[in-house]
């Protein structure tokens, strides 16, 4: 395998990655220290329980059956063969399913707490939609029986399955997201140079390692669901509203989650099928979504066609920027990815327009996938910026810096802090940007064409109301603390950073802190998603710890500023156990600012001149994301984001079969994610950033910053290497080999 | 998965005796078991041949090596004699799949792995190879990864093996055991067949025949060899196009050529014309280009896989160049 690597790469064929931490730490295990994951040992021992691993007694298995047409009706169902099999307990279809709450209107927008009606009619809206569930004693029996249930369909030839051929069906969603400031056409007329290009991104799938799964029990109208979710509270709401039962009768447990990337933000229909099946067979039912069903039944990122128009003066001053996105949604539910978000706020441009159109298609409803909006939108914007810099004969780095803004022109308010220029400058220095050759195809080594690329990244840092509870126990001189909240750890490190927060504010070692998460009986949090988890969870935990100390001091008339250990406090209160709750939420100040994380990606790409294969030789990522709670877990987030970004560029795409409407990409054999050898030497640099507007702890989101604009930096490097402008993701050898050179560039 | 009978064979006689029309021999299972899970392969019986004594690498009377059919791909590719004398084969085999799969996969099984055409894998789609007469979904569907040579209206799928491409270039012979107890030899390029109107048949093996060994000729390409695999990621991906190139060069003249392509046809595609053209010529870039052009002019791509023509041409030239320039 090493054969085809250039010599210099063979020599350093070892996984190296470096983190540079430029933040300071205080407490040995408190906020800011690079401690190991507190739940790490549980995970490597296999003791961390994921949804399908809970030892629920008397459990049986459900296997979903998927439609094999894109649109139409079920005309008959033959269950006779399947029913005769050993172990089969129930076959549920629309004919015998429990009646559920349905959508009140057409094209209901999908949200994190949206109901998930399933098996309610004989109508089929997309290929792969659930049309049945077989419940059996064993997984194998359920699976085999599911393959024997025969459905006969009446196909509706009006199915919309071809994006390219269906553009005339596009509509403007009624959600108020179209936006403009200034006058776009005037801005373009003032420009000396105009770039007008279209960028395409395909359907992508989240594919967390842990399959979506649920073990659901219906017990006298009370539901318990061990379900892999990012937001347990919203899952609870979705179950109670789908079944029209009181919220208090639903409990959702999501103790460990093996990745979500947005696919587990909402409650998917397999959970509802599991609950329904449990009600019908009177036993707990486990439903695990197969990897192939992960394509059709657990969300996706939709295809986007983004048309960019950029105008600039000769000196590089931006005069106009428009970002038009054409995407698709389901025929019965609506989702629109905010691709133009980044174009509204990243640069100082007076004339700006962002629009959206959606084609209703007979494909499952798309939903948020890591950095929805930014991941795809920044590919378009940061590619177009690079094209403009090339036309202006400007250094793309300087071009970006020239158009920096400290005011969010979209919201017309200042950024709470914005270190984008610092990210770009420091990154350029660490990367060696000065060695870049501005003319494509001039940096060569053997069969390789070498290119450098840069892109800017931004991702807003939402912060939401969060409750938590702390339980303190005194054991001799030591205080042991337990934090409880319904937060989730989707692999990001929530357990660890929450424990560090408690350690910081209670001033006890992290070893004396335990964290209990993912149970809807615990205090409510916004869950994990949208890069809001860390800030919300830690400030929530902080509030409970601060409340505990404050109450214990007040009870004994101890002054707030007095430095006294929590163990002494408990003793003075003559308590061995004490509980306190806390709540944190955005301040009034927060609303006056735009709060974002910023970053810059640099990469060096080597493109094989004959085969179209390329290697990402080196990447430098600089992030300015507020207080870095734990450099190790933060690093993991950035590396994970970069890797997903590399996947976006190199290979990830889901194809829709143009005649049948199914995803022809149906396993990891067809849906390629990066392998270790695809990854570069990566340097991650966290800039020190104090942002007390963001929240009391100064925490900003980092889970989505890493993936943002990676695609553009690599595409820009490929242009710098080859002179080929790759405007359609993924950039595969098959595309590169037939792509033409940009005008004015010679081979 | 459908229920099936499992029979563990301890020797070839037991295996052959147990065979029925709806049986499959089970080697490493890396392809077969996957296909059973997908409901594509539906055998009533699996005859496990992992205990059969075909796990040796021995010298044969042609001055070459004989590879046991039940030896794993890893053991074969990493065997010192294979590495030294058949580095082209080793390189091709190590470019395939992942270390885990290569540890499981057997040599015999590698020769019989089935296409990765997505229409073959999805039972709700038409596929003549899986279900004769149901049609070819790929013909007017998604065919960017499909054949550009030797296909028919019935099937445009490609053979996914890397090992087979190297074996076609090297010129191997396959030994098979027949159900009546006799054995026969099949020239490697006769093992796989073009789809014609019987795409369900990948090979010329007869029912119940069991591959026992692969005989390699005396080593000819141990100095000048290269396996170029073009794919979407650095490992664990099937080739878009691959080329196995072996050269023998004496006094600045090519005396022997072994050249085959993967990812372009229903069979490992032996480049006979290019081989003939290059024999006796100098190993120059012009000659390599002419040889590549000679082969690729017969390509009949679909709209979505037109890229394979340019890619194939470049790949042939590059593989030959790398093979020739390799320092001994």
Give the model confidence (pLDDT) of A296-310 as tens digits: 999 999 999 999 999
Strands of B210-215's sheet in order across: B57-59, B65-68, B210-215, B173-177, B183-187
Examine the pLDDT at A10 and tell me if it is beyond 70.
no
Residues of B within 8 A of A1 (CB-CB) are 94-95, 234-235
Band the pLDDT of A545: cuts 50, 70, 90: very high
pLDDT in tens, A481-492: 999 999 999 999
Say what angle helices A232-243 and A269-281 make with each other, to 10 degrees.
50
The verdict on residue B271 lying in a domain is yes
Buried b (16+ CB within 10 A) or exposed e, B81-108: ebbebbbbbbbbbbbbbeeebbebbbbb
Smallest CA–CA separation between A160 and chain B, in Å?
16
Residues of B within 8 A of A664 (CB-CB) are 118-119, 122, 141-142
Does B236 touch chain A if contact means CB atoms closer than 8 Å? yes
DSSP string of A346-408? SS--SEEEEEEEEEE-SSPPP---SSTTHHHHHHHHHHHHHHHHHHHT--HHHHHHHT--SEE
What is the dihedral sign for C-alpha A117, A121, A124, A125?
negative
Active site residues of A: 704
Q: Exposed (0-12), middle (13-18) or buried (19+): which is A233, by Cβ within 10 Å?
A: buried
Contact between B318 and A664 using a beta-carbon 8 Å cutoff: no
Q: How far apart are CA B280 and CA A489, in angstroms?
A: 67
Band the pLDDT of A220: cuts 50, 70, 90: very high
Residues of A within 8 A of B235 (CB-CB) are 1, 675, 677
Average pLDDT over residues B87-102: 97
Domain span at residue B232 reads 224-325
The verdict on residue A49 lying in a domain is no
What is the dihedral sign for C-alpha B208, B212, B218, B223?
positive
Task: Spell out the residues 6+ positions from residue B139 whose beta carbon is closer than 8 angstroms to its own.
Answer: B153, B156
Does B178 touch chain A if contact means CB atoms closer than 8 Å? no
Place of tokens 């990765």: B116
pLDDT at A19: 55
The answer to whether A233 and A464 have CB atoms below 8 angstroms apart is no
Q: How far apart are CA B261 and CA A545, in angstroms?
A: 67
pLDDT at A28: 77
Band the pLDDT of A20: cuts 50, 70, 90: low
- Nearest Cα to Cα of residue A321 among A330, A312, A333: A312
Examine the pLDDT at B204 and tell me if it is beyond 50.
yes
Does B118 touch chain A if contact means CB atoms closer than 8 Å? yes
Closest partner CB to B142 (pick from A4, A615, A664): A664
Contact between B307 and A737 using a beta-carbon 8 Å cutoff: yes
Structure token pair of residue A387: 């094209």
Q: Please give the backbone phi and psi of residue A634, each rounded to the nearest 5 degrees, phi first.
A: -65, -40
Task: Spell out the residues 6+ positions from residue B277 whose beta carbon is closer than 8 angstroms to its own.
Answer: B287, B290, B291, B294
DSSP letter for B155, please: B
Task: Spell out the residues 6+ positions from residue B163 whose beta carbon is closer than 8 angstroms to its own.
Answer: B73, B89, B92, B93, B96, B107, B110, B111
Does B95 touch chain A if contact means CB atoms closer than 8 Å? yes
- Overall domain count for chain A: 3
Do residues A561 and A607 share a domain? Answer: no
pLDDT at B326: 83
What is the dihedral sign for C-alpha A40, A46, A51, A55?
negative
Do residues A564 and A668 share a domain? Answer: no
Q: How far apart are CA A426 and CA B182, in angstroms?
A: 74
* Rg, chain A, Cα only: 27
Q: How many Cα atoms sit within 13 Å of B117 on the Cβ side?
A: 31
pLDDT at A17: 46
Q: Which residue of B has its CA nearest to A659?
A: B141
**Cα–chain-centroid distance for residue B137?**
23
pTM: 0.96
Contact between A677 and B311 using a beta-carbon 8 Å cutoff: no
Smallest CA–CA separation between B295 and chain A, in Å?
17
Do residues A607 and A684 share a domain? Answer: yes
Examine the pLDDT at A18 and tell me if it is beyond 80.
no
Smallest CA–CA separation between B139 and chain A, in Å?
11
Q: What is the CATH number of the domain that holds A62?
A: 3.90.1170.50
Examine the pLDDT at A47 and tell me if it is beyond 60.
yes
Residues of B within 8 A of A144 (CB-CB) are 1-3
Collapse the DSSP code of B36 into the 3-class scheme (helix H, G, I; strand E, B; otherwise coil) and give the result: helix
Contact between B306 and A738 using a beta-carbon 8 Å cutoff: yes
Do residues A570 and A687 share a domain? Answer: no
The verdict on residue B74 lying in a domain is no
Band the pLDDT of B239: cuts 50, 70, 90: very high
pLDDT at B327: 57
Examine the pLDDT at A12 and tell me if it is beyond 90.
no
Examine the pLDDT at A4 and tell me if it is beyond 50.
no
Mutate to test the interface with A, among B99, B232, B285 (most CBs of A within 10 A): B232
Give chain B's mean pLDDT: 97
Closest partner CB to B234 (pick from A655, A664, A678): A678
Do residues A438 and A524 share a domain? Answer: no
Does B198 touch chain A if contact means CB atoms closer than 8 Å? no
- Label residue A626 left, alpha or beta by phi (over 0 means left) and psi (-120 to 50 means alpha): left
- Label residue A281 left, alpha or beta by phi (over 0 means left) and psi (-120 to 50 means alpha): alpha
Closest partner CB to B140 (pick from A655, A659, A737): A659
The verdict on residue A433 lying in a domain is yes
Mutate to test the interface with B, among A606, A657, A661 (most CBs of B within 10 A): A657
Q: How far apart are CA A396 and CA A398, in angstroms?
A: 6
The answer to whether A48 and A38 have CB atoms below 8 angstroms apart is no
Bridging pattern class, strands A577-584 and A596-608: unpaired
- Nearest Cα to Cα of residue A363 among A272, A297, A431: A297
Average pLDDT over residues B98-117: 97
Q: How far apart are CA A468 and CA A538, in angstroms?
A: 10
The verdict on residue B296 lying in a domain is yes
Q: Which residue of B has its CA nearest to A141?
A: B1
Residues of B within 8 A of A164 (CB-CB) are none
Mutate to test the interface with B, among A613, A651, A671, A740 (most CBs of B within 10 A): A613
Inter-chain contacts counted by CB atoms under 8 A, chains A and B:
103
Domain span at residue A635 reads 15-19+371-461+592-738
- Nearest Cα to Cα of residue B233 among A84, A265, A651, A495: A651
Q: What is the CATH number of the domain that holds B260?
A: 3.30.390.50
Do residues A291 and A376 share a domain? Answer: no
Which of A101-110, A220-229, A356-365, A423-432 has the least mean pLDDT? Answer: A101-110
The verdict on residue A105 lying in a domain is yes
Task: Spell out the residues 6+ positions from residue B2 whose beta carbon is closer than 8 angstroms to its own.
Answer: A144, A147, B36, B39, B42
Do residues A268 and A377 share a domain? Answer: no
Residues of A within 8 A of B116 (CB-CB) are 669-670
Does B257 touch chain A if contact means CB atoms closer than 8 Å? no
Band the pLDDT of B170: cuts 50, 70, 90: very high
Which of A1-10, A85-94, A116-125, A511-520 has the least mean pLDDT? Answer: A1-10
pLDDT at A206: 98
**Cα–chain-centroid distance for residue A366?**
13
Q: Exposed (0-12), middle (13-18) or buried (19+): which is B222, by Cβ within 10 Å?
A: middle
Do residues A634 and A717 share a domain? Answer: yes
Do residues A665 and A731 share a domain? Answer: yes
Do residues A412 and A516 share a domain? Answer: no
The verdict on residue B145 lying in a domain is no
Closest partner CB to A669 (pick from B116, B230, B235): B116
Q: Which residue of A has its CA nearest to B118?
A: A664
Smallest CA–CA separation between A163 and chain B, in Å?
15
Average pLDDT over residues A715-719: 98
Q: How far apart are CA A248 and CA B131, in angstroms?
A: 52
The verdict on residue A616 lying in a domain is yes
- Nearest Cα to Cα of residue A634 among A9, A19, A17: A19
Mutate to test the interface with B, among A669, A714, A726, A747 (most CBs of B within 10 A): A669
Closest partner CB to A734 (pick from B91, B121, B240): B240
Do residues A619 and A717 share a domain? Answer: yes
- Nearest Cα to Cα of residue A720 among A423, A307, A396: A396
pLDDT at B1: 85
Average pLDDT over residues A699-706: 96
Average pLDDT over residues B123-143: 97
- Nearest Cα to Cα of residue A533 among A547, A544, A517, A548: A517
pLDDT at A26: 53
pLDDT at A624: 97
Does B327 touch chain A if contact means CB atoms closer than 8 Å? no
Q: What is the CATH number of the domain that holds A422?
A: 3.30.365.10
Smallest CA–CA separation between B2 and chain A, in Å?
6
Task: Spell out the residues 6+ positions from residue B94 whose beta carbon is closer than 8 angstroms to its own.
Answer: A1, B77, B78, B102
Smallest CA–CA separation between A412 and chain B, in Å?
44
Contact between A737 and B39 using a beta-carbon 8 Å cutoff: no
Residues 69-88 of B with CB under 8 A from A: none
Please list the helix, strand and coil fractions of chain A in percent, rounded to the nearest 5, in that order.
30, 25, 45
Collapse the DSSP code of B110 into the 3-class scheme (helix H, G, I; strand E, B; otherwise coil) and give the result: helix
Structure token pair of residue A348: 């100082």
Q: How far apart are CA A60 and CA A87, in angstroms?
A: 10
Collapse the DSSP code of A460 into the 3-class scheme (helix H, G, I; strand E, B; otherwise coil) and give the result: strand
The answer to whether A369 and A375 have CB atoms below 8 angstroms apart is yes
Do residues A418 and A280 share a domain? Answer: no
Give chain A's mean pLDDT: 95
Does B233 touch chain A if contact means CB atoms closer than 8 Å? yes
**Residues linked to residue B7 through DSSP beta bridges, in sequence order:** B47
Four-point Cα dihedral B313, B318, B324, B328, nearest 10: -150
The verdict on residue A338 lying in a domain is no
- Nearest Cα to Cα of residue A367 among A306, A296, A302: A302
Collapse the DSSP code of A133 into the 3-class scheme (helix H, G, I; strand E, B; otherwise coil) and give the result: strand
Contact between A660 and B232 using a beta-carbon 8 Å cutoff: no
The answer to whether B302 and B156 have CB atoms below 8 angstroms apart is yes
Average pLDDT over residues A438-461: 97
Mutate to test the interface with A, among B307, B309, B316, B319 (most CBs of A within 10 A): B307
What is the dihedral sign for C-alpha A370, A376, A378, A382?
positive
Examine the pLDDT at A2 and tell me if it is beyond 90.
no
Q: Helix/strand/coil (H, E, C) string of B168-218? A: HHHCCEEEEECCCCCEEEEEHHHHECCCCCCCCCCECCCCCCEEEEEECCC
Does B310 touch chain A if contact means CB atoms closer than 8 Å? yes
The answer to whether A285 and A277 have CB atoms below 8 angstroms apart is yes
Contact between B230 and A140 using a beta-carbon 8 Å cutoff: no
Collapse the DSSP code of A39 into the 3-class scheme (helix H, G, I; strand E, B; otherwise coil) and give the result: coil
The verdict on residue A452 lying in a domain is yes
CB atoms < 10 A from the CB of A45, how many? 8
Q: How far apart are CA A100 and CA A702, in angstroms?
A: 38
- Overall domain count for chain B: 2
Bridging pattern class, strands A17-21 and A681-686: parallel
Collapse the DSSP code of A413 into the 3-class scheme (helix H, G, I; strand E, B; otherwise coil) and give the result: strand
């Amino acid at each position: 395998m090493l054969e085809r690597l250039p010599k210099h790469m063979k020599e350093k064929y070892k996984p190296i990655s470096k983190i540079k931490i430029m933040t300071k730490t205080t407490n040995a295990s408190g906020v800011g220290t690079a401690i190991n994951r507190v739940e790490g040992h549980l995970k490597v021992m296999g003791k961390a329980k994921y949804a399908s691993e809970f030892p629920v007694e008397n459990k049986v298995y459900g296997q979903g059956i998927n439609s094999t047409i894109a649109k139409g009706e079920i005309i008959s169902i033959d269950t006779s063969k399947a029913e005769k099999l050993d172990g089969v307990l129930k076959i549920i279809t629309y004919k015998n399913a429990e009646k559920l709450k349905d959508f009140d209107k057409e094209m209901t927008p999908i949200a994190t707490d949206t109901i998930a009606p399933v098996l309610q009619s004989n109508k089929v809206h997309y290929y792969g939609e659930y049309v049945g569930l077989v419940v059996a004693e064993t997984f194998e029996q359920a699976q085999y029986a599911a393959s024997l249930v025969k459905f006969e369909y009446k196909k509706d030839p009006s199915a919309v399955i071809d994006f390219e051929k269906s553009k005339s069906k596009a509509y403007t969603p009624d959600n108020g997201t179209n936006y403009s400031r200034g006058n776009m056409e005037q801005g373009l007329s003032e420009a000396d140079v105009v770039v007008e290009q279209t960028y395409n991104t395909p359907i992508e799938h989240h594919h967390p390692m842990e399959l979506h799964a649920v073990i659901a029990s219906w017990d006298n109208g009370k539901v318990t669901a061990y379900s892999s979710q990012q937001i347990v509270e919203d899952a609870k709401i979705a179950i109670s509203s789908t079944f029209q039962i009181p919220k208090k009768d639903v409990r959702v447990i999501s103790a460990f989650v093996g990745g979500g990337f947005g696919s587990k933000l909402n409650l998917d229909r397999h959970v509802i099928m599991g609950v329904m099946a449990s009600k019908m067979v009177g036993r707990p039912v486990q439903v695990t979504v197969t990897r192939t069903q992960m394509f059709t039944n657990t969300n996706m990122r939709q295809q986007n066609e983004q048309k960019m128009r950029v105008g600039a003066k000769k000196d590089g001053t931006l005069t106009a920027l428009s970002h038009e996105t054409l995407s698709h949604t389901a025929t019965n539910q609506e989702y629109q990815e905010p691709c133009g978000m980044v174009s509204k706020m990243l640069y100082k441009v007076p004339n700006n327009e962002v629009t959206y159109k959606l084609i209703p298609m007979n494909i499952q409803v798309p939903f948020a996938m890591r950095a929805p909006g930014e991941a795809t939108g920044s590919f378009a914007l940061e590619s177009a910026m690079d094209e403009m810099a090339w036309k202006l004969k400007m250094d793309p780095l300087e071009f970006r810096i020239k158009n920096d803004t400290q005011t969010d022109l979209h919201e017309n308010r200042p950024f709470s802090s914005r270190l984008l220029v610092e990210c770009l400058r420091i990154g350029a220095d660490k990367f060696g940007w000065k060695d870049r050759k501005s003319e494509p195809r001039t940096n060569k080594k053997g069969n390789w064409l070498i290119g450098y690329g840069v892109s800017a990244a931004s991702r807003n840092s939402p912060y939401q109301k969060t409750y938590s509870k702390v339980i303190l126990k005194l054991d001799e001189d030591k205080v042991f603390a337990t934090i409880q909240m319904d937060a989730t750890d989707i692999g990001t490190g929530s357990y660890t950073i929450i424990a560090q927060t408690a350690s910081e504010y209670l001033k006890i070692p992290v070893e004396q802190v335990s964290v209990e998460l993912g149970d809807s009986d615990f205090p409510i949090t916004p869950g994990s998603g949208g890069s809001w988890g860390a800030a919300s969870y830690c400030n929530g935990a902080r509030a409970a710890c601060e409340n505990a100390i404050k109450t214990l001091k007040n009870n004994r008339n101890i002054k707030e500023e007095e430095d006294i250990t929590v163990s002494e406090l408990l003793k003075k209160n003559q308590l061995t156990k004490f509980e306190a709750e806390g709540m944190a939420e955005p301040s009034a100040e927060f609303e006056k600012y735009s709060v974002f994380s910023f970053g810059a990606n640099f990469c060096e790409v080597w493109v094989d001149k004959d085969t179209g294969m390329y290697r990402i030789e080196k990447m430098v990522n600089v992030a300015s994301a507020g207080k870095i709670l734990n450099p190790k877990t933060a690093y993991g987030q950035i590396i994970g984001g970069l890797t997903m970004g590399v996947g976006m560029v190199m290979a990830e795409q889901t194809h829709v079969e143009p005649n049948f409407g199914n995803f022809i990409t149906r396993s990891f054999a067809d849906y390629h994610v990066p392998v270790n050898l695809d990854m570069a030497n990566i340097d991650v640099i966290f800039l020190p950033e104090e942002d007390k507007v963001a929240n009391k702890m100064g925490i900003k989101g980092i889970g989505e910053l890493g993936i943002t604009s990676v695609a553009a930096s690599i595409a820009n490097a490929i242009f710098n290497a080859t002179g080929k402008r790759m405007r359609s993701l993924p950039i595969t050898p098959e595309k590169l080999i037939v792509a033409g050179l940009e005008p004015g560039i010679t081979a | 998965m459908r229920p099936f009978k499992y029979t563990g064979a301890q020797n070839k006689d037991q295996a052959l005796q147990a065979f029925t029309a709806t049986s499959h021999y089970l080697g490493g299972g890396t392809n077969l078991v996957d296909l059973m899970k997908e409901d594509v392969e539906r055998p009533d019986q699996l005859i496990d041949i992992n205990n059969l004594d075909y796990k040796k690498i021995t010298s044969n009377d042609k001055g070459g090596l004989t590879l046991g059919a039940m030896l794993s791909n890893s053991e074969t590719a990493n065997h010192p004699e294979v590495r030294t004398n058949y580095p082209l084969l080793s390189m091709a085999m190590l470019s395939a799949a992942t270390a885990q799969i290569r540890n499981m996969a057997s040599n015999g099984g590698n020769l019989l792995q089935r296409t990765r055409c997505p229409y073959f894998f999805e039972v709700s789609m038409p596929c003549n190879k899986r279900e004769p007469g149901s049609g070819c979904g790929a013909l007017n569907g998604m065919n960017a990864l499909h054949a550009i040579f030797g296909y028919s209206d019935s099937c445009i799928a490609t053979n996914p093996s890397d090992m087979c491409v190297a074996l076609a270039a090297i010129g191997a012979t396959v030994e098979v055991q027949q159900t009546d107890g006799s054995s026969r030899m099949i020239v490697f390029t006769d093992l796989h067949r073009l789809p014609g109107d019987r795409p369900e048949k990948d090979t010329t093996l007869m029912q119940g025949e069991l591959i026992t060994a692969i005989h390699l000729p005396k080593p000819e390409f141990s100095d000048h060899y290269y396996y170029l695999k073009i794919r979407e990621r650095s490992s664990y991906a099937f080739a878009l196009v691959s080329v196995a190139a072996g050269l023998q060069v004496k006094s600045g003249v090519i005396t022997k050529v072994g050249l085959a392509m993967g990812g372009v046809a229903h069979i490992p595609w032996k480049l006979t014309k290019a081989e003939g053209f290059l024999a006796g010529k100098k190993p120059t870039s012009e000659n390599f280009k002419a040889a590549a052009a000679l082969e690729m002019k017969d390509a009949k791509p679909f709209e979505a896989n037109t890229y394979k023509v340019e890619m194939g041409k470049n790949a042939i030239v590059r593989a030959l160049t790398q093979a020739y320039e390799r320092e001994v």
